[in-house]
Amino acid sequence: MVDRPNKPTALATTPGLPPQPQVNISHDAGRVSASLPTGETVDILLYGATVISWKDRAGNEKLWLSEAAKLDGSKAIRGGIPIVFPVFGQAPDHAATSKLPQHGFARTSRWELLGKSTSESAGMSDSSVKLDFGLSSASLSDDVKALWPYTFSIIYSVTLSQEGLATSIVITNDGEEAFESQVLLHTYLRIEDITTVSVTGLEGSAYIDKVDGAKLKSQSSTISITQETDRVYTPSTDPSQPVVITSNGEQVFSVVRDGLRDVVVWNPWTDKAMSMPDFEPKDGYKNMLCVEAGSVRDWTKLEPGEAFEGGQTISY
């Protein structure tokens, strides 16, 4: 046998793949659930494409969901992250949206799961899962089309990572007529005690105080919640500058916006919570705070073929 000086070495054994992010679809309940190998999870209903749960690796819930929330598609969901489009609240003086229900129709429409994508690494340090949902004018009921007869499509993406949760939206005018709209990611954050919470990052910002006759005011300092609060801020800083929620001086959430100029801060407090049938428990206002990224102070006009993009990233 000829002795070969450069013998080929044995092939190395192919290492096993690391655990992969998982996506499960419950067709009966219309729910999409995703989890990371490290334990983080997210649940989204196709009804409204509403995120109803987001948990960290230890199983701690990060979103507040009313115990009386209807998850059967019978009404808008109280809690989680509903999508507000094409109108924020009601706009009786805006002809195109004056007939629409509170907060529009996106949160009460059935969306379609368009697809999923994952990223992994051997060390799982950057594993994530992205879920894409779609809604278009073609999928709306005739009743809704009659109220808002524009041709559009929306792609809404929810990305779960170890660092946090990102939600983004792309709205495209697919028709031949321009339209105006508003959009808001109506995020209910779960907190331990509202009396210990402060919000920073909005200092120096103008805001509309909806509890005080829609007066225009300016935020001079850190925000503390001591009564019913319903404010629409237009921050003076770049959207990439975080709005930070702290409890007893320690950060519990950070919200970074992308393309969304406004921030709504809302807590119903005692009387308002008592007046809402689907807000349970009635003292649940102590354990939630809405910090909502959106574009709602003015109207965004989209000409035919134009698109609007915006999003937020919530970390803890």
CA distance 175 to 292: 29
Quick check: 198 and 224 in contact, CB under 8 A? yes
Cα separation, 271 vs 289, whole angstroms: 16
Beta bridge partners of 167: 158, 312
Cis peptide before 235 (omega within 30 of 0): no
Distance CA 49, CA 133 (A): 7
Catalytic residues: 186, 292
Q: Answer whether 77's CB lies under 8 Å from 48's CB.
A: yes
Q: Are strands 128-136 and 152-161 parallel, antiparallel or unpaired?
A: antiparallel
Residue 78, phi-psi category: left (phi > 0), alpha (psi -120 to 50), beta (remainder): beta
Q: Please state the φ and ψ torsions of residue 284, each to the nearest 5 degrees.
A: -65, -15
Residue 102 marked as a ligand binder: yes
Binding region for substrate: 78, 102, 107
Instruction: Extract the annotated binding site.
Output: 78, 102, 107
